[in-house]
Amino acid sequence: MAYETLIVETHGPVGLIRLNRPQALNALNSTVLAELKQAYGAFHVDEAIGAIVLTGSEKAFAAGADIKEMQPLDFADVYKSDFISGWDEIAKARKPVIAAVSGFALGGGCELAMMCDFIIAADTAKFGQPEITLGIIPGMGGSQRLTRAVGKAKAMDLVLTGRMMDADEAERSGLVSRVVPADKLIEEALAAAAKIASLSRPSVLMAKEAVSRALETTLEEGLRFERRLFHSLFATEDQKEGMAAFIEKRKPVFKNR
């Protein structure tokens, strides 16, 4: 499948999606959204794919929503079309998605990275929510996901001033899981995704669901949800295999069932 704004590859059990609008620093427009939905959809139905890496270019993961596309819109346009709601589907991906961020991840770009399950950042990465400088506010989850990731003080600082933070500050703040040299970014992200893809698929999907639930519910509900998922994994062949392999001191052979 040929895309206009993406480069899509498979690396064994890992799907790699690169945003590819170099002329606009990968600004997110309606074509990018439509194509991302297609690429995610294809990887989700492909049994061979166990995890996805989403990345951009060396200079920009994505410099935000496409300002040139948004500029002429008025309230009626964005309200009637429920502008931005299409991105919810990207945030709801079932298979694990790692964002590999190099360069700018601003506005919708930062928000897209935060829709992924975790972010691996190159030491060149710069994160920010500069919408306030355009007379708007974050609209793809920035005020909510950023606040959950880094806490109120840092989120307010970034959202109200529109300043950028570098990779070290992003790691200290808990926005990114690790920082790696820029030339190792894709290698590290693919290796992490390959590790995930090598594990039992039901347990991976449930682990993702359980951690995600922590951001959506109370501790009591979250603990109950986790326990039920935990119990249900004892109905899988892979739980028997994983534990037998440990006891027999061999590598498990998971069947994803």
Q: Which residues are catalytic?
A: 65, 108, 111, 131
The answer to whether 34 contacts ligand CO8 (rule: CB under 6 A) is no
Is 116 strand, coil or helix?
A: coil
CA 211 to chain centre: 14
Q: What share of the chain is helix, strand, coil (3-state, %, to 5)?
A: 50, 15, 30
Q: How far is the CB of 117 from ligand CO8 (least distance, A)?
A: 20
Among positions 43, 61, 104, 127, the unique one binding ligand CO8 when judged by CB under 6 A: 104
Residue whose tokens read 């790696």: 180
Among positions 10, 31, 139, 191, the unique one binding ligand CO8 when judged by CB under 6 A: 139
Q: Pick between residue 29 and residue 173 the one whose CB is nearest to ligand CO8.
A: 29
The answer to whether 54 contacts ligand CO8 (rule: CB under 6 A) is no
Q: How far is the CB of 28 from ligand CO8 (least distance, A)?
A: 5
Structure tokens at 179: 């920082």
Task: Tell me which stretch binds ligand CO8 (CB under 6 A): 105-113, 115-123, 201-209, 224-232.
Answer: 105-113
Structure tokens at 83: 């502008």
Among positions 15, 50, 56, 64, the unique one binding ligand CO8 when judged by CB under 6 A: 64
Residue whose tokens read 């297609």: 38
Which one-letter DSSP state was computed for residue 97? E
Task: Tell me which stretch binds ligand CO8 (CB under 6 A): 2-10, 23-31, 184-192, 204-212.
Answer: 23-31
Residues 106 and 146: their CA atoms lie apart, in Å, by: 12
The answer to whether 130 contacts ligand CO8 (rule: CB under 6 A) is yes
Among positions 6, 8, 24, 175, the unique one binding ligand CO8 when judged by CB under 6 A: 24
Residues 49 and 75: their CA atoms lie apart, in Å, by: 40
The answer to whether 56 contacts ligand CO8 (rule: CB under 6 A) is no
Considering only CA atoms, which of 113, 121, 115, 110 is closest in space to residue 94? 115
The answer to whether 27 contacts ligand CO8 (rule: CB under 6 A) is yes
Q: Pick between residue 96 and residue 128 the one whose CB is nearest to ligand CO8.
A: 128
Residues 153 and 159: their CA atoms lie apart, in Å, by: 10
Phi, psi of 62 (to 5 degrees): -170, 130
Q: How many residues bind to ligand CO8 according to rule CB under 6 A? A: 21
Residues with Cβ < 8 Å from 183, sequence gap 6 or more?
none
Task: Tell me which stretch binds ligand CO8 (CB under 6 A): 7-15, 59-67, 115-123, 176-184.
Answer: 59-67
Q: For residue 127, what are the β-bridge partners?
A: 105, 165
Q: Which residues bind ligand CO8 (CB under 6 A)?
A: 24-25, 27-28, 63-68, 84, 104, 106-108, 130-131, 134, 138-140
